Amino acid sequence: MLPALKTDGLRLADVLASSLSAIRGEPNRFGLGSVTNAVVLLVDGLGAEMLKARAGHARTMSGALTARSVIESGFPTTTAAALASLTTGVAPGEHGLVGYSVLDPAHDRIINQLSGWDDRLDPATWQRVPTLFEAATAEGIDAVVIGPERYLDSGFTQAVLRGARYVPAATIADRMESASALIRQPGKHLAYVYVPELDQAAHAHGADSDEWVRALESTDAALAPLTRSLGARDGLLLTADHGLLDIPQHGHVLLEGPLLDGVRFIAGEPRCLQLHLEPGTDAAAVAARWHEAEGHRAWVATRAEAVAAGWFGSVHPDVLPRIGDVIVAARKAVAYYDGRLANPHGRSMVGQHGSWSSAELRVPLLRFGAFSA
């Protein structure tokens, strides 16, 4: 049986949407009360299981853990798809960012949706729906993104953060201080603060590494004064785009032989392959071949099966060709690499994500200030 998101569960796509509704004084999925200022702090790669396992290194965060502190990210559990869902409030099948790397059907190529933007890919149309920042700005609410300067003008920023003014801040502490200063200014503010350092440490060194723990401690230390600065009409939500797990070298699977027959492109990422097939190739036959070989450690689905199971939410016709003809989502501690390449992308990564495991799918939802009531 194929996995599926909880049909009645709270998800990452509800977080910024509920925060904007709270500023409007409207009912929302999280039951947040009316506020003047709402801050969403996104800690990239901080899975709920990871936080609970290291709670002693994050006293401010762990102090906010309750029975309602876990939500689901969405599928695939990857930054490009997840952040677009956060900032639009809709699933990947609607906003169009359906993976880390995807097929660009108009140009018959695979593109990296975080860093592969060029003049043939328009952020304003590739990401198909208005952002919540655009809605906020149109209503006179100050929509602000606070993050590292290197992302200021990226194509990904233009696609998923449009409508907000971008405030660069170098360190984690600088970003928290910028958010604290913002909510002390007159007017209504919707702020999104981005912390990529934990994800970067996990990819390079693993989630069990000293480097990752130090990044967690730094984030928690910087969070504490921000929470103390919240007034009676200020709310803060802390969440993440995905969790991850460490994949040992013996879990790296080099693909070759019959499994690649008829495969034109491999998109997605090592724990969630999206196979685009040569014209005329039978997707069901390819999926059956993969299921026979890898079904003991991966979920295998044709595009039609994945869409029917709701993996990408409601899928717009323009988005459908971007999704692989066959999807291979790891369910054991493995990662798949194209054995035809001399140096397959991602083989140096320790911490990985993209698939359906609870370590990847479940993320924290921590409430502070007015949102903790």
* All structural domains of the chain: 12-99+122-245+357-372 (3.40.720.10), 249-352 (3.30.1360.180)
Question: Residue 23 carries which side chain, given as an amino acid letter?
Answer: I
* Contact of 327 with 301, CB cutoff 8 Å: yes
User: CA of 105: how far to CAs of 114, 115, 181, 357, in Å?
Assistant: 18, 18, 44, 29
| pLDDT for position 231 | 98
Q: What are phi and psi of 239, to 5 degrees?
A: -150, -170
* Bridge partners, 252 (sequence order): 335
Q: Residue 121: which residues within 8 A CB-CB, separation 6 or more?
A: 104, 111, 155
Q: Which residue has the tokens 């930054």?
A: 79
Q: What are phi and psi of 139, to 5 degrees?
A: -95, 5
Q: What are phi and psi of 240, to 5 degrees?
A: -145, 160
| pLDDT for position 10 | 94
pLDDT per residue rounded down to tens, the chain (373 residues)? 899 998 778 999 999 999 999 999 999 999 999 999 999 999 999 999 999 999 999 999 999 999 889 999 999 999 999 999 999 999 999 999 999 999 999 999 999 999 999 999 999 999 999 999 999 999 999 999 999 999 999 999 999 999 999 999 999 999 999 999 999 999 999 999 999 999 999 999 999 999 999 999 999 999 999 999 999 999 999 999 999 999 999 999 999 999 999 999 999 999 999 999 999 999 999 999 999 999 999 999 999 999 999 999 999 999 999 999 999 999 999 999 998 886 777 788 999 999 999 999 999 999 999 999 8
DSSP H stretches of helix in the chain: 15-24, 48-53, 59-62, 79-88, 92-95, 123-126, 132-138, 155-160, 172-183, 197-205, 210-228, 283-294, 303-308, 358-361
* Bridge partners, 363 (sequence order): 71
* Bridge partners, 277 (sequence order): 263
| pLDDT for position 333 | 97
Quote the crossing angle between the two packed helices 197-205 and 210-228, to the nearest 10°: 170
With 0-12 CB in 10 A as exposed, 13-18 as middle and 19+ as buried, what is 296?
exposed
Q: Three-state SS for 197? A: helix
| pLDDT for position 373 | 80
Q: Which two tokens stand for residue 280?
A: 């005329």
β-pairing, 234-239 with 37-43? parallel
Which long-range CB contacts under 8 A does 206-210 form with residues at least 24 apart?
206/246, 206/350, 206/351, 207/47, 207/50, 207/244, 207/245, 207/246, 207/350, 207/351, 208/246, 209/350
